[in-house]
Chain A
Amino acid sequence: GIQVEQSPPDLILQEGANSTLRCNFSDSVNNLQWFHQNPWGQLINLFYIPSGTKQNGRLSATTVATERYSLLYISSSQTTDSGVYFCAVVGVGNQFYFGTGTSLTVIP
């Protein structure tokens, strides 16, 4: 199956700081999603981004499928951004693979 590695595994930020989360995948993919898992376990859809760049408020994402990576940018971070960020990909055969996750803590 496809290996999906995220970096960094853990990140601590001061409120107001910016950050970049990275997702590397080992093979061609048909789609890619970014999720935020809140402390109660809910997985919230952030972006569906097989390629290109999208923005939603303080968050934006870029996927470069030919180079097998995606980036999630968080600007002006807030304490409510804390949680675990997952990328997930759909590979050939339509298998869905989650990345290893980045645990983000934003401190006031």
Chain B
Amino acid sequence: DTEVTQTPKHLVMGMTNKKSLKCEQHMGHRAMYWYKQKAKKPPELMFVYSYEKLSINESVPSRFSPECPNSSLLNLHLHALQPEDSALYLCASSEGRMNEQFFGPGTRLTVL
């Protein structure tokens, strides 16, 4: 099973809302990632978790807060977002940081 799942598929939220994106994998991978992708651009790395510890935070604003409750789950908590945060948010996992990454289908986020 090489599947990474993400929920929800679509999310519309106001600038004062708090919401969370969820990602799950059951491949036994120990590295998990959040990416942000704007239209017609490549994905940009936001966060990397390795063995459930945050190892990379690519200078992401604090209104994005990642959480890794266990080795299979990755959350991204959203609060006080701006309209420019509207994008496709992709989760990925890999066996280790150097290994092949597998991506989920993404959550398409719109901030009004």
A binding-site residues for B, Cβ under 8 Å: 30-31, 33, 35, 40-43, 45, 48, 86, 88, 90, 94-96, 98-101, 103
Q: How many residues of B contact A (CB 8 A)?
A: 23
Is chain A's binding surface mostly helix, strand, loop or mixed? strand
Contact partner of B33 (CB less than 8 A), chosen from A48, A96, A99, is: A96
In the bound complex, residues from chain B placing their C-beta under 8 Å from that of A43 are: 43, 90, 92, 103
Is B106 within 8 A of A98, CB to CB?
no
B binding-site residues for A, Cβ under 8 Å: 2, 33, 37, 40-45, 56, 88, 90, 92, 97-103, 105-106, 108
For A42, give the chain B residue with the smallest CB separation.
B105
In the bound complex, residues from chain A placing their C-beta under 8 Å from that of B97 are: 90, 94
Is A33 within 8 A of B100, CB to CB?
yes
Q: By CB atoms of chain A within 10 A, which of B92, B105, B108 has the most?
A: B105
Q: A30-B98, A33-B100, A48-B100 are in contact. Are A40 and B105 (CB under 8 A)?
A: yes
For A91, give the chain B residue with the smallest CB separation.
B98
